Structure 1
């Protein structure tokens, strides 16, 4: 064993052989199971002790059978805050005890071997190890983790792992400038973060669209520039264009292909069409909601429902000279901005969190409630500190305590 392979194991020989993890076992079915404890497999690996993880809206694509690896069962999750527990010999940027956020790197090769073992394609697939667990193996750790200070709650940092960074980049992709008006479609965690980011960056007017009144009410906490739009009463684009006849400068799609129409039926191109309609000439559209097509399999039983192509009003797009950018995000691109905003108290993204942290064993009922739109953002507790193993046994961290960090 290399001298650089450090671990808390040297001080805690009774480290567990298994850990608890959330597992997708079928369409709309999750369980929390004992799974093998992860180990260093490649020199660039880190083993992360997860202190807090979260359920992302993209996890519901898996839950509903639209995304995923070919077969059940598989773990899930890509949002986490944690502490470096074990370090491979080729890792240069991190040491045992460092507090970090998981990230989605864009400078590493994606192969069958590694695609399912870190928050890379895990965003859409799930795989060998997900973050909704006590520990996780992180390949290519130098580019897959973001260092954070020891102070400040996990609740703030967990949003930087995905939702806050995704929303911020969505504004960048739309070409946002201070003073712009913005329409955000979807008031889930990413949509709320998009409206919040627009407010932080000086938007003049921010429309946020949804049919879930609980989420629209939450958006009002962002500030006076926010205008909630419930499309159950009237088509969202009609409401926006009545108030802003020329349209908005930027539109952000935080829903993706599972967008629903006024009858709450999935209409795969509905949100994209609405974005095009409300965006003014010369404006920009950022698509951060997922548009992905998988082959039907045991693990993706509803893949055939997703169209391979969408119909959009290209003539309107062309005539209005609109710019469109889409794709998954990389939080390492905005890490310095995000960490600085949170560290200095300028941003407090935790306002969207309304549930948790909960024990991992509560995952089945929490997934059901999240799928029903009854939760905005839910957190899970991770692993107890090594010195707590004996006193906690298999029960996890003590009540009200999450691995040394206040939440």
Structure 2
């Protein structure tokens, strides 16, 4: 089959690779009908996340049709149309029973390696380094889905791929980011980053009842989407984020702040952003935490910082004293996709949210290597890329 494979920093290739096969009785094989490039794929493309090996298949946001099901699968049959969550969940361990699917205790087959790096293992993740199990990703014609009974979302008839594809990652990620804020009707929610996750967090915060949603970015096409959705855009290249947020909140700051950027944050005129790039170049810091610093500074006392943006290693110069003295609550983590999937599927079916609004490019899988560069460089108005095998 054909797949997009990682061969090193900024080197994604359209390769011929072996077809996946059933390896465990609970596996299923899915023929991919649509997949997407995610912002966290760019962290692998740019070489910021360790644990990749040459030839690894990329991608963790995909859907398709079941073409083979192992003998122990009970909830799937050949012909079922499914979205596959990026979090591989056993459904039976203590964390899964509590709904904490992204830290499933059983699905990371490189658990010992992850424990050395993180202290405890995360769940297995599709297409996301050998620290999370080394599972082949979904930017391919076919994918093996382990623990398939608890690692799928069945798609009802009448919904297009583009409407439901993002149930596998960015929609529940944005929803969880907002849910972690415990949004109240009087709240202002500020979101850093108007990429796909930030835009989903924006719609989620609106649906969860925020009085005012503000989104910070500097890409015109993204800011236009923010304004079109009825949120307030801030262009950080044109105005002070701190001053503008104070103006919008009567000088008090937003109650809830969401970091939808993660480890590659930047600000062209910021001294701390230049500091981060210098330390990164000298391998003294792995991640750039400009957004975290700004959120801590601007958030209203007793507020909440929600962090869906991916961080992979070490950060520096975090004003933790300010966070402690302001009484801020931090909530973060990979997304517990299966916790939110059915409720979000109902919202889509009811027409209350259509996640396809973020799609700007739909291309063939073979065009994936070029689309990685276009997506990373935000060329041609690119916000979200869908690929079709």
Per-residue deviation, residues 351-393 of structure 1 (Å, max 9, x unmatched): 011110x1111112111101101210010113xxxxxxxxxxx
Looking at structure 2, the residues matched to 250 and 128 of structure 1 have their Cα atoms a distance apart, in angstroms, of: 35
Which structure has greater helix proportion? 2
Larger radius of gyration between Structure 1 and Structure 2: 1
Residue 234 in 1 paired to residue 239 in 2? Answer: yes
Q: Which residue of 2 aligns with 1:64?
A: 46
CA deviation after TM superposition for structure 1 residue 190, in Å: 0.1
Q: Which residue of 2 aligns with 1:154?
A: 161
Q: RMSD of the alignment, in Å? A: 2.1
TM-score (norm 1): 0.81
CA contact (8 A) 2:178 2:208 kept: no
CA contact (8 A) 1:91 1:141 kept: yes
CA deviation after TM superposition for structure 1 residue 336, in Å: 1.4
Q: 3-state SS of the aligned residue for 1:58?
A: helix
CA contact (8 A) 1:174 1:324 kept: no
Residues 312 and 320 (structure 1 numbering): CA distance in 2 closer, same or farther, change over 3 Å?
same
Q: 3-state SS of the aligned residue for 1:369?
A: helix
Q: Which residue of 1 aligns with 2:366?
A: 361
Q: Which residue of 2 aligns with 1:292?
A: 312
Residue 47 in 1 paired to residue 47 in 2? Answer: no
1:278 corresponds to which of 294, 298, 306: 298
CA deviation after TM superposition for structure 1 residue 92, in Å: 1.5
CA contact (8 A) 1:235 1:262 kept: no
- Structure 2: which 5+ residue stretches go unaligned? 90-100, 115-122, 277-287
Looking at structure 1, the residues matched to 170 and 125 of structure 2 have their Cα atoms a distance apart, in angstroms, of: 16
CA deviation after TM superposition for structure 1 residue 205, in Å: 0.8
Residues 79 and 129 (structure 1 numbering): CA distance in 2 closer, same or farther, change over 3 Å?
same
Q: Which residue of 2 aligns with 1:313?
A: 319
Per-residue deviation, residues 26-64 of structure 1 (Å, max 9, x unmatched): 211111111111110001101011110000000000110
- Structure 1: which 5+ residue stretches go unaligned? 1-18, 294-307, 383-407
Looking at structure 2, the residues matched to 35 and 115 of structure 1 have their Cα atoms a distance apart, in angstroms, of: 26
Looking at structure 2, the residues matched to 351 and 115 of structure 1 have their Cα atoms a distance apart, in angstroms, of: 39
Looking at structure 2, the residues matched to 131 and 115 of structure 1 have their Cα atoms a distance apart, in angstroms, of: 23
Q: Number of residue pairs matched?
A: 345
CA contact (8 A) 1:53 1:381 kept: yes
TM-score (norm 2): 0.84
Looking at structure 1, the residues matched to 193 and 336 of structure 2 have their Cα atoms a distance apart, in angstroms, of: 20
Q: Which residue of 1 aligns with 2:92?
A: none
